[in-house]
Amino acid sequence: MGTVVDDAASVEFHAFFERHYAELARLANLLTGEPDAADDLAADALLALWHRWDRVRAADRPAAYARGVVAHLARTRIRAAVRERRRITLFWSQRADRTEDPDVAGAVDVQEALRRLPFRKRACVVLRHAFDLSEKDTALALGISVGTVKSQTSKGMAELKRLLGADGAAVRMHAGALPAGGAGGRDR
């Protein structure tokens, strides 16, 4: 049986969980491009938050802290996947029947293009445009400077425009592929 403080913290955490779980899972999905892993990453992040709940709830922006934890876990997962792919590539590199230039130009959409961006650019674009965070909030979530957010977001959007079409119409047209907030990240 818990104390009154433990019960109050538990109720507060449960409310935080209910309010932010879907957002954190959506963020994980956009950062990793793996819908099946998104729920696991969000759950892992919330478990980590629960273990440090006294510190998290005392933070100025607990949701920003939570997004930072998700971003860190996503980055770790992506790095592990890259290492695994490299091991598999080395193992299978002896095979002569590789495809050199697959034709994928007709099947690109915003989520596929996002997956092609390096993690930091992808994270900045997703947080700024899909989650409509300010540059400052994005910097806090990722643990980087506001200047880095500005440059990475700009470079990421330019890369998306290049991947989706030179005029950028495809980015605007497919903004619906980015959940909540579309493509209009504003400074606040």
Arithmetic mean of pLDDT, 94-113? 55
Rg, the chain, Cα only? 19
Q: How far apart are CA 148 and CA 141, in angstroms?
A: 13
* Confidence tier at 149 by pLDDT (50, 70, 90): very high
142 Cβ partners below 8 Å, 6+ apart? 68, 71, 120, 123, 124, 127, 149
Residue 29: C-alpha distances to residues 54, 64, 90, 95, 156 (Å):
27, 17, 28, 33, 18
Mean pLDDT of the chain: 79
92-97 contacts: CB < 8 A, separation 24 or more?
A: none
pLDDT at 181 exceeding the cut of 80: no
pLDDT at 186 exceeding the cut of 50: no
Arithmetic mean of pLDDT, 110-124? 89
pTM: 0.53
132-137 contacts: CB < 8 A, separation 24 or more?
A: 132/180, 132/181, 132/184, 132/185, 132/186, 133/185, 134/186, 134/187, 134/188, 135/187, 136/188, 137/61, 137/64, 137/188
Residue 84 token pair: 């695994």
Predicted pLDDT of residue 58:
84
